[in-house]
Structure 1
Amino acid sequence: MPLVAPDPTRTVPLPLREQADVRDRWLTQRLLDLLPDLMDRAGIDLWLVVGREYNEDPVLATLLPATWLSARRRTILVLHRSDDGVTAAAVSRYPVGQFLPAWSPEDDGRGRTEDSQWAEVRRFVEQAAPRRIGVDVSADSALADGLSHTEHQQVTEALGPWADRLVSAEDLAVGWLETRLPEEIATMDGLNRRVVEVVEEAFSPAVLTAGVSTATDLAWWLRQRLADLGCEPWFHPVVDLQRAGVPPLRRQGTLLPAVGYDEPVQPGDLVHCDVGLGSLGLKTDSQRNGYVLRPGETDAPAGLRRALAVGNRLQDLTTAELVAGRTGNEVLAAARRAAAAEGIDGDIYSHPVGVHGHGAGPAIGRWDDQRGVPGAGDRVLCPDTVYALELCVRVPVPEWGGQPVRMALEEGVALTGEGVRYLGERQIELLLIPAT
């Protein structure tokens, strides 16, 4: 039975009970439709995901039932690839959703519960006889490095001679975390639209009062509003101001706003925010820019509007290079060459987004280093993944006496077999904020 994507435009978030139903159905579909190919791609026959309560592997949370808010005692999930698909079993003290229960400590009569649990893992491995056993250890990806030191020791001891077949499951863990179902992408489209709605509310006279409201006030308002909606932000919102006559600071090769966070917003200010929310186990990460109109103005100065257009152009040049099969570093280098050819002064620092705000997958630059990202930047872009297209440009504004502005932009984009598409509405015009 195909899944029906929730309609975030109807209500974001959905009631918690409906969210749980959707998330559990997504998990079933992911295990059936995504995991076999991901295991084949990584060359792993059996995947062990292990975590103890309050010290969970980041991957574990994506495999647990929606009603589980953490692991319970020690939770061990065993995912075995066979000709019939993937057998998902739980060697756990409590039943784990749709995972097959593979152990009952009351019935096995093998002494201490902990010893018995690891003995059952060993028995499962012996029956499966895998060639390569994946565990979540990684030097390059924190999200694929969730197996604690103690658990790694115990896995190794429990498997005995089978421990020689242990390998890093980095490619599998990253693939599992970064790959999205079509329904998940549709939901992220709706979540991005909801972020814009909240920002537009913040950048309105209902919330922002010129001469009174500060960037700090607006950041806290955004956080509170998202919390009240049930879409908790995954980082504290950032709001900053740029103003004619207050030149930006230059730090590590880029420009940073010099107006204090506790100074009231003034007419003529460029107001920028960076906001991310979470719902249905998915995250967004997006930025918006607004202009506070001066008395008598009906639009932002042409120089600020041009700065946004230059930023949009850098987005175009970057999305043109977002091609499956390329590495993040290759995308970065190609987009920067294209930008240099057009005389654009900017930085690109895009990243995957999905289960985590700064998600698993290929990094495409960093704001403080445009030479490429060792490790994460060498990962290859894959279809059915989502990115925060994050970048900035530096453009002089004639109306501000040639003072440069840093126009920072961030939009969700999905990379599928049909190419790249924006999630939500891409910003191509400044939000205009009346001063009164």
Structure 2
Amino acid sequence: MSLVLPDPTRTVPLPLREQADVRDRWLTQRLLDVLPALMDRCGIDLWIVAGRECNEDPVLRTLLPATWLSARRRTILVLHRSDDGVTPAAISRYPVGQFLAAWTPGSSGAGADGEQQWAEVRRFVEQADPLRIGIDVSPDFAHADGLSHTEHRLLTEALGPWADRVVSAEELAVGWLETRLPEEIAALHALNRLAHDVITEAFSPAVVRPGSTTALDVAWWIRQRLHDLGVEPWFQPSVLIQRAGVPLAEERGALLPAVPFDAVIEPGDLLHCDVGLTSLGLRTDNQRNAYVLGSGESAAPTGLREAMRAANRLQELTVAALVPGRTGNEVLAATRAAAAAEGIDGEVYSHPIGYHGHGAGPAVGQWDEQRRIPGAGDYPVRPDTVLALELAVSRPVAEWGGQCVRLGLEEGLALTGGGAEFLGRRQTEFLMIG
């Protein structure tokens, strides 16, 4: 199974060697076209990203060549903003892709490699004479808090008086991680379509045999299918069952499905899945719903279809509230107010997605927190970013004796200068198994 990218000669998933070429081209383009404006916006003219093998800064991983699966020994990258753009340099024992080699081990006189390396950082800073030096420390975003305690101490000691110019690079790191190139968004369209096709195949009679297949069987089928396609999941896929006669159970203030995760699927069941894949250094996150037809049925009960329409409407209200410049908390409040005005009982818990599944950027609620999210919820919505539009509605179903169902949806959503655009195909009708 593969899907066509905008260039009809390319498909996803690409072979690994071609993926590496694409990712390295994207990195070069991002360093040229994205990073200078971000550094200007944040007022940082030198960004130092450092990490050691087996303890990499999350940002460092996004700056390394595609063939580098980790840092090598200690890898220090310095990105200097000048009138000519951004100069990316590596103070590292080994050459680092597109980065200029700013240090040759053994060339700095006596002393161990580590001492020479930190001395070269000091020399680079003295020559650059930056006003503000950004480092990856952050109380609100784990993605921007990757400078380890030891590396922070050694860097501060090496900088000496220049340490007074050090500031948090939180805003810069988050901006770097959340900003997507048009080419990356195009690839995410194809990757989301691929995820949707895998889910459609999973929720079909070819996989689900009512009376014998369990929800856990389907979840493992999805994981195996993604692995066989060469697009590894970034979390274990889940499949949940809701069933007439088994009411939702309360968990941390929310009503969630109570049918055991390894239960056998039966006719009349409502199935829900949560699936995320990884390819080209990017991630997807999708939730879809299916209905298992009972005897004599040709469609899902009217009450379930009304729940789907309510969930789609909540999506539309959330998209309308995602105005650039608003914080995640403001988007959450606006969406909930609009939903309440229309009588929709739901929760919104959307999040950025890109390099990371739960990405850096504005948090729009959490499933167990619908008031405000300190820190990440105070971050503004920006264009050229991608969000996993994740939410759920609760609604009684007359055909189930008034029993309440919780219908969750999650779709990729690109926010660009042209507005909001769903990635792949938005679900508006149940997948049918019968």
TM-based fold match above 0.5:
yes
State whether structure 2 residue 273 is matched by structure 1 residue 273.
Answer: yes
Report if aligned partners of 1:138, 1:170 keep a CA contact under 8 Å in 2. yes
In structure 1, what is the Cα distance between the partners aligned to 2:150 and 2:324? 37
Other structure's SS at 1:167 match: strand
2:53 aligned partner: 53
Report if aligned partners of 1:174, 1:360 keep a CA contact under 8 Å in 2. yes
Note the C-alpha offset of 1:390: 0.3
Range moving further from structure 2, 191-200 or 6-15: 6-15
Which structure 2 residue ranges, 5 or more long, are not aligned? none
Aligned length: 431
Structure-2 change in CA distance of 1:6 and 1:149 (3 Å): farther
Describe how 1:12-31 pairs up with structure 2 within 5 A.
12-31=12-31
2:363 aligned partner: 363
1:339 aligned partner: 339
Note the C-alpha offset of 1:253: 2.9
Quick one: percent identity of the two aligned structures?
A: 72
In structure 2, what is the Cα distance between the partners aligned to 1:321 and 1:253? 25
Q: Deviations over 1:374-426 (max 9, x none)?
A: 00000011110000000000011000000010000100001111111100000
Q: Which amino acid aligns with 2:25?
A: R
Range moving further from structure 2, 196-205 or 10-19: 10-19
Report if aligned partners of 1:50, 1:60 keep a CA contact under 8 Å in 2. yes
In structure 2, what is the Cα distance between the partners aligned to 1:350 and 1:287? 12
Report if aligned partners of 1:383, 1:417 keep a CA contact under 8 Å in 2. yes
Note the C-alpha offset of 1:321: 0.5
Report if aligned partners of 1:361, 1:381 keep a CA contact under 8 Å in 2. yes
In structure 1, what is the Cα distance between the partners aligned to 2:186 and 2:265? 36
1:66 aligned partner: 66
Report if aligned partners of 2:51, 2:60 keep a CA contact under 8 Å in 1. yes
Structure-2 change in CA distance of 1:166 and 1:234 (3 Å): same
Which structure 1 residue ranges, 5 or more long, are not aligned? none
Note the C-alpha offset of 1:5: 6.6
Q: Which amino acid aligns with 1:385?
A: T
Note the C-alpha offset of 1:297: 1.2
In structure 2, what is the Cα distance between the partners aligned to 1:206 and 1:216? 16
Range moving further from structure 2, 271-280 or 254-263: 254-263
Q: Which amino acid aligns with 1:333?
A: A
1:203 aligned partner: 203
Report if aligned partners of 1:321, 1:335 keep a CA contact under 8 Å in 2. yes
State whether structure 2 residue 314 is matched by structure 1 residue 291.
Answer: no
Report if aligned partners of 1:23, 1:66 keep a CA contact under 8 Å in 2. yes
Report if aligned partners of 2:288, 2:409 keep a CA contact under 8 Å in 1. yes
In structure 2, what is the Cα distance between the partners aligned to 1:198 and 1:307? 24
Note the C-alpha offset of 1:202: 0.5
1:189 aligned partner: 189
In structure 1, what is the Cα distance between the partners aligned to 2:114 and 2:369? 46
In structure 2, what is the Cα distance between the partners aligned to 1:208 and 1:89? 53
2:226 aligned partner: 226
Q: Which amino acid aligns with 1:409?
A: L
Note the C-alpha offset of 1:110: 3.2
1:89 aligned partner: 89
Q: Which amino acid aligns with 2:83?
A: D
1:324 aligned partner: 324
State whether structure 2 residue 347 is matched by structure 1 residue 384.
Answer: no
Other structure's SS at 1:372 match: coil
In structure 2, what is the Cα distance between the partners aligned to 1:174 and 1:12? 27
Report if aligned partners of 1:8, 1:187 keep a CA contact under 8 Å in 2. no
Q: Which amino acid aligns with 1:56?
A: E
Q: Which amino acid aligns with 1:280?
A: L
In structure 1, what is the Cα distance between the partners aligned to 2:8 and 2:243? 36
In structure 2, what is the Cα distance between the partners aligned to 1:221 and 1:109? 58
Q: Deviations over 1:60-82 (max 9, x none)?
A: 01000000000000000000000
Report if aligned partners of 1:9, 1:194 keep a CA contact under 8 Å in 2. no
1:240 aligned partner: 240
Note the C-alpha offset of 1:10: 5.2
Structure-2 change in CA distance of 1:350 and 1:175 (3 Å): same
Structure-2 change in CA distance of 1:8 and 1:64 (3 Å): farther
Structure-2 change in CA distance of 1:10 and 1:301 (3 Å): farther
Note the C-alpha offset of 1:255: 1.4
Q: Deviations over 1:135-178 (max 9, x none)?
A: 00000000000000000000000000000111000000000000
Q: Deviations over 1:344-394 (max 9, x none)?
A: 101000000000000000000000010110000000111100000000000
In structure 1, what is the Cα distance between the partners aligned to 2:7 and 2:222? 23
RMSD: 1.2
Note the C-alpha offset of 1:229: 0.7
Note the C-alpha offset of 1:106: 2.8
1:305 aligned partner: 305
TM-score by length of 1: 0.97
Report if aligned partners of 1:19, 1:280 keep a CA contact under 8 Å in 2. yes
Range moving further from structure 2, 415-424 or 9-18: 9-18
Report if aligned partners of 1:188, 1:423 keep a CA contact under 8 Å in 2. yes
Describe how 1:92-241 pairs up with structure 2 within 5 A.
92-241=92-241
Other structure's SS at 1:262 match: coil
Other structure's SS at 2:407 match: strand
Q: Which amino acid aligns with 2:58?
A: P
